[in-house]
Structure formats: structure tokens, C-alpha cells
Amino acid sequence: MLPTDGVMSFPGQTWEKVLSKVKKAVVFMDDRCSEGLHWNGGAALLFEAGARNIKPFSSFEAGGQNQPKAVFVVSTVLKGRTADIIKDIISLSHFQYCVVFTTVPHSIHLLANNVTTDLEGNPVFEQFEEKLCEWMGDMNYTAEVMHAPVVFAPLTQQLHLLPAFSELFPLLEVDLEAINEKRPEKKRFGSLMDVDMHSLPPELQIQIKSLASALNALFEFISTREESFSVGPMSRLIAGELASHPQAKNRRKSVPNKASIVFIDRTLDLTGAVGHHGDNLVEKILSVLPQLPGHVTDVQVDMLELTHLKQTTDTKGILAPGCLAQNQSATARLLWETMLVAKQKEAVMEVRRQLVEAASKENLPIKMSLGRVTADQLCSYVQLFRDSWGALESHSGVLQLGLAAAQALRHPALPRWDACLAFERLLLDSFCFSSKGFSSDLFLSFLNLLILLIHKASTNKCRTYTYCCILSCDMRNVEKVENDLIGALTLRLTQQTSLSPLLQEITGKCTTFGHVLRCDMQDFAHSFMHVDSMSSLLRDGVHLHLHVL
């Protein structure tokens, strides 16, 4: 098997061990593992393997009277809150056979239990098996605990994400201060580049080691020895952990294939992440539609257009949402890949073409139209399917993607996209050419203004890598821009009738809102202190991006 073929099939392969154990079982799964399953075939994958039911991993869930077998799939260490939830579920059920899968390997469980010496077998897993039998109420019942790296979410055959590590964020200057506070003065680190693994909090060490273990499992599967490169302090730690992984050392001695892997700190591409210069349909869909509950890589698609129900308060929330992950249909998968890589105009035209083709196959009375594709036009095509259950079922994947496109195109937040792009360009102009500073228009939302401030922090520190016309900055202009933006943010904050979780987290750090924002933005800007010698990685001639090769 070629390495490229192995990479494509690896995410599905990681679920094989789980599928072999779910027959006649109730499956309890946490959000991170559910998201991986979501992109690998969804719940249908488990039901086809014989699972009786799938439930959230929660203390408020339990098995039924006639359900003696349970399978737990979790993305955490088997201790603390995770162990408590498993105990709660078992105590409320009548299980006689429990299987627990964790994405965290046994070696990291040893670290989590402060065991520093190598031990034979899997003693931590074996001890947990005994606990499972104890909670089931009979030591003669059957319990199994094993590791399965079900953390990969294949959005396409070429693009895999790891949502289980979505909260693994690069270190900032404030983290360096917290690390140094716990160290003797003579042993304090001078910069983030000096920080080593052993000085990090245990929870962060577990995340980094788990990520390295998952990547090692991938390289083992494709029989490949990697050459690692890193850009940024956190990436250096991850690359070092992968290089020193015990199994990786043995693998590199015998495997025939070679590959390069580049780790890049996400803080070094904030202008790409928060910018509005992209002309991509999926980027806009992900930006404006609400996320699926518990997910970070998919959104909710309102399915009301596929019914004759009217949009009222009574109908809100009664339909299960659609999504972007369409694994059952080859046509829908191809449409999704086109939407993901094509420019917006090409993507919406392909959405229309696929809807027209699907309607024609079902002999639905479609009216052809040329020219610009509109949201109303796409919705009118989708509505043709609502009176034919067979047609709706056959083309559900294409219909959900069509609705996602239509709902994004007519979303009230979308017109702000071009406005935000204009403000980003104005920001850059303000840095160099305007002594009057920058005045933000209050029609932008709080989140829009916050994103502009992050964009500002990311660009003025790496100004020689942004627009080609910018050769120097007047720091007085930069400070004026920052003050104007923070002032607009503060004003917008006073107009909020309630605070979102994000605002509560920001304002909870400090009594002075402007001060905490300025500190956070400085931390982002300092991320570029270590990449001055790497301009070739950063320059693409138009915008700042970091491209993973």
C-alpha cells in the first residue's frame, strides 16, 4: 500500500477495533470521539456493526433493563471526572460486559498516575478493568480496557483534522510568566523557546504526548519514517516529543518510506485565520452558520426547506439539523470537495448544477435558469424534493450541502464580510500613511471588532511580511489604531445586554477591559519574535499565511 493510500484509509482503520466490540452493545461516546466518528461514517457505522444504541457520555445516561453490554469511547485519561461518569452510568444500568476505549495510550496513563518507570503489560488498564467489574457488581463479569487512536476527522481524502486537540493552543508570554513563577529564580526561562516538556502543566504534557502518539500511529500504519520541522515554541515541543517517542525510534529503523512533517504554531497564522480576504464558499459557511453542538469542524444546516412547515417559534428546533459531513454518497463527497477548494462563484455554480442534475434524475419539474446563482434559486431547487420521500432520501447529501450554501449566501452577517475586508486594508494603510489613526464603524459587531484587533496585532509585528507596499511603520499610528479599536470595543461592550461565554472569559481576567485586551494582543504579537529569520515561509506576495507543506 502506498503511503498516500494509507493516509486516506488510516482514520477509518482506527475505528475497526471499536467496531469489532459494539455488537449488541449500548455505545457511550464523548464529544471529541463523536466528532471523529461523524467524519468517518457517522452513527450508521456503529449500527451496521451491530450496536443497539448510541448515547452521550454523561452521568445522566444509562443502559436499559435488557442491555447487558456497554462500550465506552472516550478521548481522556481514565481517571477523575471520566472515571466518575463511567461509574455513574454503570451504577444506573445492568451491565455484565463493559469495554472501554480511550484515545490516550497506556504509556501516558502511567505519566498521569505519576509512574516514571517502565512496567510490563498494561497495569493501569488492568486495574481499571477490575474497577469496572466492581462497579458492575460482580468480579466474574467481563471488562476490557484498550487504546484506540480514533482522533482523526477526514474532511476529504487529502485533508484530515484532529478535533480532539482543538484546544491545544501555542504558548504565549503569559504562559511563560506562569511557568517561571513555579521555578527558582536562577532556573527561570528567558523565552518561550527555552521551555521544555517537563516544565509544562501535567494536563498540557498529556495533550502533547497524546498528539505525538496519534501521529506515530499514523506513520506506523503507512510504514514511514518522518523528518520533522517546526516553526514556533509549541511546535518545537511537539516535534521533539514525536522524535523521542519510544515506538518511533524502532519504526524509523525498518520502514521503507520517507516523509516530511511541518509543525507550525497557530498564532503565527492569525492574519489568515481572522482575515476576510478568502473567496471560498466553505469558509463563509463555517463562519456564519451555527456549529453543531459539541463539534468544532461542522455546522448546523436548517432542514425546514425540505418540509412544508413555516418558520415560526413553534417550529424552531423540532427538526434535526443537517451538516456538511456527507459520507454515504459519492456525488455529495465530490460536491463537498469542490466547495472546499474552489472559488465561491465556481462552488455555487457547481451546487446549482448538482441540484439540477439530481432533480432531472428524479423527473422533478425543474425550471432551468442561467446567470448569477442566488440563495432563493438554490432553495427553490431544494424544495422540489420535499414531496418525494424516495428522491429526498437518495439525494439527501447534495440537498444538505445545497441548503448550507443557500443559508450562508442569505445570512445577515455575510454583507459584513466585504466591510471587514475593507477595514483590514484600512488598518494596514493606517499603520503607514495616516496620521489621523483609524476610526471603526459601529455597525460592526463586537466579534468583528475583536477580530480586527487580533488582525492588527498579527500584522504590525510582522509588517515586512504583509502587503508588499508596506516598508515601514510609524509606531504612533500603530498605537493610535490600537487605541481606536479598543475604544470601539469598549463602547460596544457597554451596549451588550448579556455577556457571551467569550466575553465573560475576556472581561473576567482583569477589571480594566482595555488593559486586558492590550495584554492579550501583545502576547499574540510577541509570537513573531522567533520567526524573523524565516521570512521565506511567511511571504506569498499578498497576505500573511503559513502554508503547511
Q: What is the pLDDT of residue 542?
A: 37
Q: How many residues does the chain have?
A: 549
Q: Rounded CA gap, 515 and 78, in Å?
A: 40
Encode 203-232: b = buried (16+ Cβ within 10 Å), e = exposed.
Answer: ebbbbbbbbbbbbbbbbbbbebebebebbb
Summarised one tens digit per residue, pLDDT across range 107-130 is 999 999 988 777 788 999 999 999
Structural domain boundaries in the chain: 3-153, 167-273, 281-413
Instruction: Please return the burial class of 263, using the count of CB atoms within 10 Å of its CB with bins 0-12, 13-18 and 19+.
Output: buried
Summarised one tens digit per residue, pLDDT across range 496-536 is 666 666 666 666 654 455 555 556 666 666 666 655 545 44
Per mean pLDDT, which of 69-73, 282-286, 445-449 is the most reliable? 69-73
Phi–psi pair at 502, nearest 5 degrees:
-65, -45
Q: Tell me 59's DSSP state.
A: T
Phi–psi pair at 258, nearest 5 degrees:
-125, 150
Q: What is the pTM of this model?
A: 0.83
Q: Is the pLDDT of residue 131 over 80?
A: yes
Interacting residues of 441 by C-beta distance below 8 A, sequence separation 6+: 419, 423
Pairing of strands 142-147, 97-102: parallel
Pair 430, 477: CB distance under 8 Å: yes
> Would you state the CATH architecture of domain 3-153?
3-Layer(aba) Sandwich (3.40)
Q: What is the pLDDT of residue 82?
A: 97
Residue type, 65: Q
Q: Rounded CA gap, 196 and 432, in Å?
A: 39
Alpha helices in 410-444 (DSSP H): 415-432
513-526 and 173-181 helices, crossing angle to 10°: 100
Q: Rounded CA gap, 145 and 352, in Å?
A: 48
Candidates 213, 221, 269; CA nearest to 242 is 213
Summarised one tens digit per residue, pLDDT across range 199-239 is 999 999 999 999 999 999 999 999 999 999 999 999 999 99
Interacting residues of 159 by C-beta distance below 8 A, sequence separation 6+: 340
When comparing pLDDT for 478 and 319, which is higher? 319
Q: Rounded CA gap, 266 and 538, in Å?
A: 13
